Amino acid sequence: MSACQSQPNAGSSCSTGALPPAAPFTLPEGATPLIVSDSVVSKVGAMLAEEGDPNLKLRIFVTGGGCSGFQYGFAFDDVAKEDDLCVSAGAIGILVDAASLQYVMGAEIDYEENLEGSRFVIRNPNAASTCGCGSSFSV
């Protein structure tokens, strides 16, 4: 948190862009690519049941942008790409493309619900710093 710099007008200048081309990425042998919490399995399971498409999976991706340089994205996807890693957790499947995977390798995916809201969070051992949650501002 302390490494996080305030970004003047970050709200409007926060851009989203494609990642630089990734070097071919091979999963290290025996490595756990993603740790998926029980709350993700139950919440995504419930969301997918609502959608009613048995092929739907949770896609996690990384794009350039945000205050700290990269940002995570979450979406549902029913098409797996050639370079996707698919992780099964309980009854759900999670897709991560190779370019994104190198940034989230070994990360823990969690789903938090509290008074402020409900959101997916990533505890990422590769991240040097992260930044607040729209709950941070300057005057």
Partner 1 sequence: MSLSVTPKAAKQIRKALDQRGGGFGLRVAIKTSGCSGYAYALEFAEAPAAEDLSFESEGVHLLVDAKSLPMVAGTQLDWVREGLNEGFKFNNPNASATCGCGESFTV
- What is the contact surface with partner 1 in residues (CB under 8 A)? 1, 3-11, 14, 47, 65-76, 103, 115-122, 124, 126-139
If the CB atoms of residues 50 and 82 are measured against partner 1, the closer one turns out to be 50
Q: What is the DSSP string of 66-104?
A: STTSEEEEEEEES---TTEEEEEETTEEEEEEHHHHHHH
Which residue's entry shows tokens 């990533």?
122
If the CB atoms of residues 31 and 137 are measured against partner 1, the closer one turns out to be 137
If the CB atoms of residues 66 and 83 are measured against partner 1, the closer one turns out to be 66
Provide the minimum distance between the beta carbon of 85 and partner 1 in the complex, in angstroms, as a whole number: 18
Please list the residues that pair with 34 across neighbouring strands: 107
Provide the minimum distance between the beta carbon of 49 and partner 1 in the complex, in angstroms, as a whole number: 15
Provide the minimum distance between the beta carbon of 75 and partner 1 in the complex, in angstroms, as a whole number: 6
Provide the minimum distance between the beta carbon of 62 and partner 1 in the complex, in angstroms, as a whole number: 9
If the CB atoms of residues 62 and 82 are measured against partner 1, the closer one turns out to be 62
